[in-house]
Each structure stands twice: as structure tokens, then as C-alpha cells.
């Protein structure tokens, strides 16, 4: 091996070599198309299979403040970034969220906010703040609501009793305001994709929302990730075998800012998925973080390469 190290004892351990001694795949950065801001890991609910383990008590990632977010928005603007994505936790629990959204819109970004559309979003202050986004600024704002399943039974199985009804109230309100709406669904239930898309169409129709379920940006069905995932490691040879390119992978054109509990400043991570793995800290600034990413995590394989998913 070029770095003189020995073969790793376990899968995904070594950044450059697989457990079998093959050359691990890596992804060069092609440009920062999407900058993700993690609002913090606190959430109003605790989902059964939340990849980032958000709950009403998990503050491992603290609220990203307006003052900390602003320099990243300015740096992203300089780098020609198209979109600001905001995730959590539940973003609307962050008291600075409306200010962050407006600052991003003021800079000309498209803004995508991932929300469960429940009580935090439906507080009067937040609803009034969203209603105040008008004109072409509203055209650049999208709220993407997490709906684990299009039926109340299976959605509530993941998110808790009553979650479906409250989310549907929020979805109906978004539709009534004319704010751009998208839905994020799950493939955990093993359904045929066409069946799932039709199910979501009917559910949205029931609250007066006409969702183009054939549009994969309007209805995103995500590949599943589990803590005990054991997918094959992705080698450089896999690009040709799978007929994929490194530029197709999410970390080729996105990064995420998080603020860890106890840290004085935020840090930039390779992507939205690996919030707690310090191996994927890329630097303090976006320019520092503009470097290649080795795919040495199971979710790099499960979600991005084999699953073909992207959070944007």
C-alpha cells in the first residue's frame, strides 16, 4: 500500500483500503451545489428508525445560531452554491430558523427545509413567518415533509400515535398557503414503487393537495439505513461494475454544517448522514471542506452508491 499501512481488520475501517485489500472508492468534490445546515438534533418526536437519533432530549448537535450560520451562507454565495438545505432534528424548533431561512432567501438561494410539519411548524409565530415569505422569494422556498408511509397505521408505527393526523394538518396548511411542498417517504415497507407513489397521491388528494408523485423531487423515496447494515465495501472497480460515476454521489457536490455540543464553533461534514462520525469532519470552512471523501462507512454504500439516494 502507498501509505505503508497494513490491511484493515474490519470492513470500512481504513480510508483508502478495504478489508480485502482492494482500493477503496473515493469521491472528489466537483463544486458546492447544496450546503446543508443542521439546525440541531432536538426534535418534538422520537421516530423508531431515525438515522440521526433525533429526540426531544438528544442535543448532541446543538441549535445552529443565526450568527454561526451567516458566514457559511456568505461563503457559499462566493462559491456559487445553488441551494441551502436545512435539516435536523426538527428545524422549526430552532428559535433562529426563520431568520436563517430569510437570510438564505435574501442571498438568492433556493431553500429546502426538511420538517415533520407538526407542532413546531404550526406555532403562530412560525406560520406568520412563513406566510411573510412572498413573491419570487416564496418560489425559491420548499418545505419537504417526512411521511414514513401514506397510511396512518404504518406512519404512526414509526413516529408515534397521532403523528399522521398532525402531519396531515401541516401538509394541508402548506398547500393552502401555496408554499412549494415535497414529501419524503420510506422504502422500509418493501412495497412496489408504483404502488407507493399512488398511495401517496391518494393521501395528498384527501387534504386537497395535488402532488405530482411521478416527480422524484416532489416525492422522494429514500433507501433505508440501519445501524447494523453490512453492505459490500465500494471499491474503485465498482464504478464500472455499477455503471456509476463518483460525480453522481451526494458528497461530490454537498456539505453539511453542524455545531457539536461543547464545541465553540461549528464544523463542516462530508454529508448529511454521518453527523457523529468524526472521520468525516472536513474542516471549519467550506473551502477547507472542498476535498475528496473516502467511502468508508456502510451508509456510503447502502444509501448513496447502491441505494442511489441523495438528500438534495
Sorted by where each starts, the structural domains of the chain and their CATH numbers stand as 31-305 (3.20.20.70)
Cα→Cα distances 235→13, 145, 255, 308, Å: 13, 34, 22, 16
Q: Nearest CA to 151 among 141, 165, 171, 135?
A: 165
Contact present, 106 and 141 (Cβ < 8 Å): no
**CA atoms in the 13 A half-sphere facing the CB of 200:** 29
Q: Which residue has 412495497 as its cell numbers?
A: 191
Q: Which residue has 461543547 as its cell numbers?
A: 262
pLDDT at 225: 67
Class of residue 146 by CB neighbours under 10 A (exposed 0-12, middle 13-18, buried 19+): buried
DSSP 8-class letter at 62: P
Whether the ω angle into residue 40 lies within 30 degrees of 0, i.e. cis, is no
Strand partners, 129: none
Strand partners, 84: 35, 111
d(CA 47, CA 286): 31
Cα→Cα distances 229→7, 125, 159, 226, 266, Å: 21, 41, 21, 5, 29
d(CA 297, CA 295): 6
Q: Nearest CA to 26 among 307, 295, 308?
A: 295
Total H helices, total E strands in the chain:
9, 11
Q: Which residue has 411521511 as its cell numbers?
A: 147
Q: Which residue has 464545541 as its cell numbers?
A: 263
d(CA 230, CA 204): 35
pLDDT tens series, the chain, 312 aa: 344 455 446 899 999 999 999 999 999 999 999 999 999 999 999 998 888 999 999 999 999 999 999 999 999 999 999 999 999 999 999 999 999 999 999 999 999 999 999 999 999 999 999 999 999 999 999 999 999 999 999 999 999 999 999 999 999 999 999 999 999 998 878 889 999 999 999 999 999 999 999 999 999 998 776 667 788 999 999 999 999 999 999 999 999 999 999 999 999 999 999 999 999 999 999 999 999 999 999 889 888 898 887 777
Taking the CA atoms of residue 295, residue 300, residue 302 and residue 308 in that order, the dihedral angle to the nearest 10 degrees is: -110
Contact present, 180 and 217 (Cβ < 8 Å): no
User: What is the pTM for the complete model shown?
Assistant: 0.92
pLDDT at 190: 80
d(CA 11, CA 54): 27
pLDDT at 27: 96
Cβ neighbours of 16 (radius 10 Å): 14
Q: Could you tell me the sign of the dihedral formed by the alpha carbons of 210, 116, 297, 34, in that order?
A: positive
pLDDT at 187: 83
Cα→Cα distances 241→25, 29, 44, 211, 301, Å: 12, 22, 43, 36, 14
d(CA 300, CA 275): 13
Amino acid at each position: 500500500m502507498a501509505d505503508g499501512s497494513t490491511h484493515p481488520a474490519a470492513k470500512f475501517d481504513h480510508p483508502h483500503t478495504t478489508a480485502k485489500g482492494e482500493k477503496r472508492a473515493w469521491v472528489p468534490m466537483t463544486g458546492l451545489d447544496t450546503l446543508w445546515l443542521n439546525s440541531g438534533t432536538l426534535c418534538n418526536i422520537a421516530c423508531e428508525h431515525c438515522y440521526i437519533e433525533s429526540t426531544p432530549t438528544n442535543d448532541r448537535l446543538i441549535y445552529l445560531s443565526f450568527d454561526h450560520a451567516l458566514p457559511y451562507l456568505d461563503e457559499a454565495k462566493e462559491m456559487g452554491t445553488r441551494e441551502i438545505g436545512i435539516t435536523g432534528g426538527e428545524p422549526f424548533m430552532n428559535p433562529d430558523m426563520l431568520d436563517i431561512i430569510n437570510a438564505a432567501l435574501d442571498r438568492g438561494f433556493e431553500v429546502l427545509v426538511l420538517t415533520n410539519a407538526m407542532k413546531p411548524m404550526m406555532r403562530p409565530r412560525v406560520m406568520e413567518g412563513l406566510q411573510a415569505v412572498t413573491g419570487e422569494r416564496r418560489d425559491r422556498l420548499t418545505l419537504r415533509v417526512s411521511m414514513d408511509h401514506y397510511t396512518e397505521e404504518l406512519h404512526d408505527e414509526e413516529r408515534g400515535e397521532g403523528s399522521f393526523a398532525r402531519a396531515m394538518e401541516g401538509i394541508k396548511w402548506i398547500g393552502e398557503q401555496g408554499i412549494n411542498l415535497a414529501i419524503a417517504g420510506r422504502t422500509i415497507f418493501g412495497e412496489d414503487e408504483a404502488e407507493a407513489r399512488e398511495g401517496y397521491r391518494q393521501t395528498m388528494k384527501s387534504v386537497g393537495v395535488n402532488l405530482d408523485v411521478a416527480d422524484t423531487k416532489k416525492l422522494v423515496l429514500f433507501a433505508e439505513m440501519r445501524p447494523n447494515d453490512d453492505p459490500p465495501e465500494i471499491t474503485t472497480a465498482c464504478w464500472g461494475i455499477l455503471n456509476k460515476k463518483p460525480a453522481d454521489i451526494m458528497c461530490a457536490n454537498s456539505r453539511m454544517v453542524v455545531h457539536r455540543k461543547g464545541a465553540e464553533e461549528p464544523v463542516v461534514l462530508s454529508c448529511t448522514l454521518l453527523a457523529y462520525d468524526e472521520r468525516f469532519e472536513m474542516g471549519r470552512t467550506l473551502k477547507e471542506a472542498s476535498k475528496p471523501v473516502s467511502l468508508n462507512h456502510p451508509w456510503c454504500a447502502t444509501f448513496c452508491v447502491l441505494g442511489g439516494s441523495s438528500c438534495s
